[in-house]
Amino acid sequence: MTTDVKARPARPSEPPTTGTGTPSLKDRGNLFEVAMRQIDKAAQLTKLDADVWQILQQPKNEILTNFPVRMDDGRIQLFKGYRVQHNNILGPYKGGMRYHPEANLDEMKALAAWMTYKSALHEIPFGGGKGGIKFDPTKHSKTELERITRRFTHSLGNNIGPDWDIPAPDVGSNEQTMVWMMDTYMNVVGQNERHSVRGVVTGKSVNAGGSYGRREATGAGVMHCIVEWAKDTNFDLDGAHVIIQGFGNVGSFAARLLSQKGAVIVGVGDHGGYIANPEGLNAHKLQEHVAKAGTVATYKGAAKITRDEFFALECDVFVPAALELEIGVKEANALKAKVVVEGANGPTYPEAEDILLDKGVAVIPDILCNSGGVIVSYYEWLQNKRSEQWEHQDVLDRLQHRMTKTYGEVRTYATKHKCNWRTASYAIGLERIERCYKERGIFP
């Protein structure tokens, strides 16, 4: 989310109550095992070297820190923070910081691994990492969020750094979070290094050294993939019906950009509930509403529907842009979309993907289509290294070029090897990583 977290009375973190019939994350199975099952298919297809596969099946480092923070009322609360560094053969570890009450180590391991393949697929010189804090940011005041973020950054110490491991926003964190992280890191490195370490995080505000275009980057990447899919299938996006699950940074910008292409957003949902309007929702107004109310559920210009009704809506395009493992067998059977475009990381169970593909639904996988964020993070990191500020349009043009280029590579690979697009995306990434391991070998 790019919106500012509003000041709220201080309360201890509580488990989430979605009220939407969504199972809690711990009931959805082990995300790392799901990720490994997906990637294993590509490892088999590419006949991946067994030694390389052994290395990639575990993260290099799993950092866990319990750190104390003083709350607004004067008491101390202990928080659990994570940073998983999956692989850095292609470049520094890179990936978001997730603030969520159900954050857990297996989830971080899966998300970190996905970052490795996402960067490898798009030929970005980064490895994969992911981290975060197990707490509910909506239950804390802005001053508490600042202290939590700064203390977490401090406890990570040299485990992050502009040429070592570079955090970014993810679910529950935003530009402000990144600016606090950068400022904390800058203040401990020593005064004559302050500005050279600006790139310790990406997804910062433009004001504090971020890149134009980073805010809408993931949603823009999702939109570019949908445009490419529409070209491939001779489908007219003008008037197409779209449903979107999740209306944070990714979902809201995808909605706005797809509306500009003439698509009609007929259903939306988030942790607070689901809404529909067959005449179309105004994405811009809905984004403004969510910035104030924290959920789409209370938006006036639509009817409230259940989660089951949402998945059964008549539509052409479905963008899951919420949390992982939202699309199970039941949801896959109900979905009427022609294409599922994974704005979220890991939203689809492997069994559900099989059902979708059998039904003839195209699935554009997460590491291909939600990579706009990390691509523009790379541009931000380059700008910081060179002390440059690129123009907004320049950033957006580069992003479009890279998204469509990779999209074409995945299409060609999937056709040549007669595999689905997820397997093709992993396979391209795995082959790049394998080539690098083969050339470099293992030290000593």
The torsion of the CA quartet 426, 431, 434, 439, rounded to 10 degrees, works out to: -150
Site string for ligand GLU, 212-251 (x = CB under 6 A): ----------------------------------------
Interacting residues with ligand GLU between 399 and 438 (CB under 6 A):
none
Q: Which of residues 262-301 bind ligand GLU (CB under 6 A)?
A: none
Among 170, 175, 316, 434, binds ligand GLU (CB under 6 A): 170
Sequence-distant (≥ 6) Cβ neighbours of residue 389 within 8 angstroms: 206, 211, 212, 383
Largest Cα–Cα distance of the chain, in whole Å? Answer: 64
Of 311 and 426, the one with the shorter C-beta distance to ligand GLU is 426
Handedness of CA 91, 118, 155, 149 (dihedral sign): positive
Least distance between ligand GLU and beta carbon 2 (Å): 12
Q: At a CB cut-off of 8 Å and minimum separation 6, what does 292 contact? A: none
The residue (of 177 and 345) whose beta carbon lies closer to ligand GLU is: 345
Out of 42, 48, 168, 243, point to the residue binding ligand GLU (CB under 6 A): 168
Enter the tokens of residue 407: 């999209």
Active site residue 47: no
x/- letters, 319..348, toward ligand GLU (CB under 6 A): --------------------------x---
Mutual angle of helices 105-121 and 421-440, in 10-degree steps = 80
Q: Strand, helix or coil at 58?
A: coil
Residue 197 corresponds to which tokens in the numbers above?
A: 């370490």
Q: Report the nearest approach of ligand GLU to the CB of residue 345 (Å).
A: 5
Residue 198 makes CB contacts below 8 A (sequence gap 6+) with 162, 182, 186, 209, 384
**What is the contact mask toward ligand GLU in residues 86 to 105, using x (rule: CB under 6 A)?**
--------xxx---------
Q: Calculate Rg over the CA atoms of the chain.
A: 21
Smallest distance from ligand GLU to CB 235, Å: 26
Neighbours of 292 (CB within 10 A): 9
Residue 174 binds ligand GLU, judged by CB under 6 A = no
From 94, 109, 130, 338, the catalytic residue: 130
CB 344 within 8 Å of CB 323: yes
What mask of x and - would describe binding to ligand GLU in positions 364 to 383, judged by CB under 6 A?
Answer: ------x--xx--x------
Instruction: By CB under 6 A, tell whether 184 contacts ligand GLU.
Output: no
Contact 378, 124 (CB under 8 A): yes
Of 128 and 273, the one with the shorter C-beta distance to ligand GLU is: 128
Residue number of the CB atom closest to ligand GLU: 96
Q: Residue 202, interface with ligand GLU (CB under 6 A)?
A: yes
Give the number of other Cβ atoms within 10 Å of residue 223's Cβ.
29
Q: List residues with catalytic annotation.
A: 130
Residues at the contact surface with ligand GLU, assessed by CB under 6 A: 94-96, 168, 170, 202-203, 345, 370, 373-374, 377
